[in-house]
Chains A and B, each alone.
Chain A
Amino acid sequence: MLVHQFLETNAEAYSYREALVHLEGRINYLDLERSANRLANFLIDCGLRPGDRVGILLDSSINYVISYFAALKAGGVAVALNTATTSRIVKSILSDCSASVLIVHRQYAHFLKDIIDELDSLETVVIDGHYERLERKKSLRAENFFDIQLNGSSERPSVNLAPDDLASIIYTSGTTGNPKGVMLSHRNLQANTDSIVEYLNLSYEDRVMAILPFFYSYGNSLLLTHIRVGGSLVIDSRFAYPNVILELMSRERATGFSGVPSTFAILMHKSRIHDYRWDHLRYITQAGGPMSPALTLKIMEAIPHVKIFVMYGQTEASARLSYLEPEKLLEKIGSIGKAIPGVTLTVRDDKGSICPPGATGEIVARGDNIMRGYWNQPEETKKVLKEDGLHTGDLAKTDNDGYLYIVSRKSDMIKSGAHRISPKEIEEILAEHGDVVESAVIGIPDSILGETIKAVIVLKQGSKTSPRDILKHCRLNLPAFKIPKIVEFRENLPKTSSGKIKKHVLVEEHKE
């Protein structure tokens, strides 16, 4: 089955059931599919060929979902970009995947202004909302989203695709600093979607409160699982005001809620969660980094009748790799559970042998959900996709019952809130500041975000640069969530005899 057939099947089976609820309105399955068809037909008319990349620069919204499914229906590969971005990142991603189409909200169209002449492969831009003309030397077809919906044909387009064709590329921070495009086929996404549907026991009666952005794999899996079963998504990304979200969840009688550890930390400490009864809420899921057992216990206390699923995964696995059954949460607290249906997880030592219970090794995953590789990066792909499966880079051990416990991560990626941040990318930006000799960017513990970013910097002798100047430089070159919270200047950085910066020494300084 192809991913857009999730929508097509339910447009027939549950035509008038509500698919999406958002500030901008509500839409049922039939209208959602027809809207996606109109945009897909337009893309085909523009010359989109199977396998061509379609960039999407929209916040989670009804139009995002229309765009995502339209890209697939037209045979394209959906490349959703994080909207907290810079022109530089937009250029780097659209150039890397040679996107021929970009669907962009007017709010983010300004990112294109200075780079549009450098995006050689871009032929068509669809703008959601009114925006002044986009000027480019080379010809460019620019169309308004609304006009396409007004005039387009809602006939279902017919494009020949196979399950192993690419459906999506999700860019994720790489350890090298450059984002890596994770290539996911229709088969990858379908396998993972069906597996999640099975263990969460999702049905058409489920209504998930979706606060996570759809451009990340966790948010994407919420979208696909609920469209797969004919359920509903209540979309609102204003989690900055948690009480607004709680009120909406209550009003819309959401049956599910998904978040990362910082989501639950904010809910437990800074919201009115205790003022509601939550009789409609059936389950919550948590992924995106380890959550402290103390916080897990607090959630159990606050909503005792709700099933809590602790999950683990990677973008490279379409989203999900393991989950802990709610019934085992107390007994196995701190565990990420066992492999989800259709996936095999093993813990292996450096020689590739399976570790006995209690011994630490790397988690290696196999299954139909494992990515096809990194776009245009065969060498990086070879490092993680090996004969025995996907090497996750996460170190873990199992207990005698086969439950997995993460010990540490091999890479030094920072997990802050819902974001996975490459220290290297920030260090490269810092290096562009004229007064910075060298720097080490690390994640330090934060009670709400999990980790927060700290930059330890060595300045040129006699430099008058202040931490404020550094932050200003970062602000100009990085999206807000990648800007260090703490900047510290030092005379030198701890190093090994071969001159490698000993980041673990800097990290240790922040451990209790």
Chain B
Amino acid sequence: MDIKTDVRNFIVDNFMMGMEPGTLADKDSLLNKGIIDSTGVLELVGFLEETFKIQIEDQELVPENLDSVDKIAAYINKKQS
């Protein structure tokens, strides 16, 4: 499975239960759509670190890296390269 699918599945499973997965586009802001909050971000970070074997530094906890499926995938790719 590719990064986007993994990330999307995690978000749908953990933050969108009962919501139509199709309502989340890859470019949608997770914060503006009300899908994720401050503890949700911490859960997401835990998932990304474990699944993709990366270390996310405190200074990397910014919306530019984490606020949409597209941004997360680009960030993971950069970290793994």
| Residues of A near any B CB (own CB < 8 A) | 83-84, 107, 238-244, 262, 266, 270-272, 275, 417, 448-449, 468, 471-476, 480-481
Contact = CB atoms under 8 A, between A and B. Distances in A.
B38 A417 contact: yes
B74 interface: no
Nearest to B13: A468
Given A243-B61, A448-B42, 7 more contacts: A84-B34, A107-B32, A241-B61, A243-B59, A270-B58, A275-B59, A475-B19
Given A270-B42, A476-B18, A240 B58 contact: no
B58 A480 contact: no
Contacts of B34: 83-84, 480
Contacts of A244: 62-63
27 contacts: A83-B34, A84-B34, A107-B32, A238-B31, A240-B31, A240-B40, A241-B31, A241-B61, A242-B38, A242-B61, A244-B62, A262-B38, A266-B38, A270-B42, A271-B58, A275-B59, A417-B38, A468-B17, A471-B17, A472-B17, A473-B18, A474-B17, A474-B18, A475-B16, A475-B17, A480-B37, A481-B37
Contacts of A448: 39, 42
A405 to B, nearest CB: 28
Contacts of B63: 238, 241, 244
Contacts of B17: 468, 471-472, 474-475
B9 to A, nearest CB: 14
Interface in B32-70: 32, 34, 36-42, 58-59, 61-63, 66-67
B74 to A, nearest CB: 17
Contacts of B66: 241
B19 A240 contact: no
A262 B31 CA distance: 18
Nearest to B18: A475
A241 B41 contact: yes
B10 to A, nearest CB: 14
B36 A240 contact: yes
Contacts of B62: 241, 243-244
Contacts of B31: 238, 240-241
Nearest to B57: A272
A449 B39 CA distance: 8
A107 B29 CA distance: 13
A182 to B, nearest CB: 24
Nearest to A271: B58
A272 B42 contact: no
A474 B36 CA distance: 16
B61 A271 contact: yes
A508 B5 CA distance: 40
A139 to B, nearest CB: 31
Contacts of A266: 38, 42
Contacts of A449: 39
A240 B18 CA distance: 23
Nearest to B37: A240
Contacts of A107: 32
A485 B21 CA distance: 20
Contacts of B19: 475
A270 B58 CA distance: 6
B37 A272 contact: no
Contacts of A272: 58-59
A161 B10 CA distance: 53
A239 B42 CA distance: 12
B41 to A, nearest CB: 5
Interface string B2-17: 0000000000000111
Nearest to B14: A471
A409 B37 CA distance: 27
Contacts of B36: 240
A275 B38 CA distance: 21
Contacts of A243: 58-59, 61-62
Contacts of A239: 38
Contacts of A473: 18
A83 B36 CA distance: 14
Given A84-B34, A475-B18, A240 B41 contact: yes
A302 to B, nearest CB: 13
A480 B61 contact: no
Nearest to A485: B39
A275 B37 CA distance: 24
Q: What 6 pairs between A and B have smallest CB-CB spacing?
A: A475-B18, A475-B17, A476-B18, A240-B38, A472-B18, A240-B41
Nearest to A449: B39
A83 B34 CA distance: 9
A243 B18 CA distance: 31
Q: Which of B31, B32, B61, B66 has the most CB of A within 10 A?
A: B61
Nearest to A275: B59
Contacts of B16: 475
A471 B41 CA distance: 19
Nearest to B17: A475
A476 B17 CA distance: 8
A235 to B, nearest CB: 15
A242 B18 CA distance: 28
Given A242-B61, A271-B61, A417 B39 contact: yes
Contacts of A474: 17-18
A141 to B, nearest CB: 28
A238 B34 CA distance: 11
